[in-house]
Amino acid sequence: MQPDHIRASDSDRDRVAERLRDALAEGRLSPTELEDRLDDLYRAKTVGELAPIVADLPTSEPTQRPLLGSEARDLAEQSKGSENLVAVFGGCERRGRWLVEPRTNVSVLCGGAELDLREAVLSQNEVTIQLAVILGGVDIIVPHGVRVINNTSAILGGADVHGTDQVTEPNAPVVRLTGTCMLGGITVKAKKPRR
């Protein structure tokens, strides 16, 4: 352990900021609390001043997040915690290089939504997609090796995950589906990345 009086480095601050972002994604901190703690973090001069900022948070495990390239890491640092996608009597889509927030809310009424995660950057190793589908459909495409956990409820509708819930690799990225599908459908498929 470093003595408390040693000056904090940029990498020390980055580690603490990472723990704070994880705590926000897990629901341990509100966005306002995150903002306050980040202010304290960047005012801190020594390692001892960093410790109280995360004293009430669990330690993060290094295996939770895969190593990211610099472009993906920059994108992940722009995380706001959640995103809302709405398709009412129409459609919405997310494809290409985009940031999948820790929580993405998708609301579909008499329409459709397509989420292509093959080139996306997951803000953390496990993300949640909360679905509210009425008289519509949602198509989700993930790259091979991503585990999809379906916790949705269906009323005169259904969800088909096409075997992506069978991925057993312990460190595999996880997409958790929650919410309700009424008179509609949710389809999840694994496909190779586009060339």
State the pLDDT at residue 67. Answer: 42
Q: Which residues of 95-126 are buried (b: 16+ CB within 10 A; e: fewer)?
A: eeeebbbbbbbbbbeebbbbbbbbebbbbbbb
Name residues of the chain where pLDDT drops below 70. 1-5, 59-79, 194-195
State the pLDDT at residue 65. Answer: 42
pTM of the complete model: 0.60
State the pLDDT at residue 66. Answer: 44
State the pLDDT at residue 139. Answer: 96
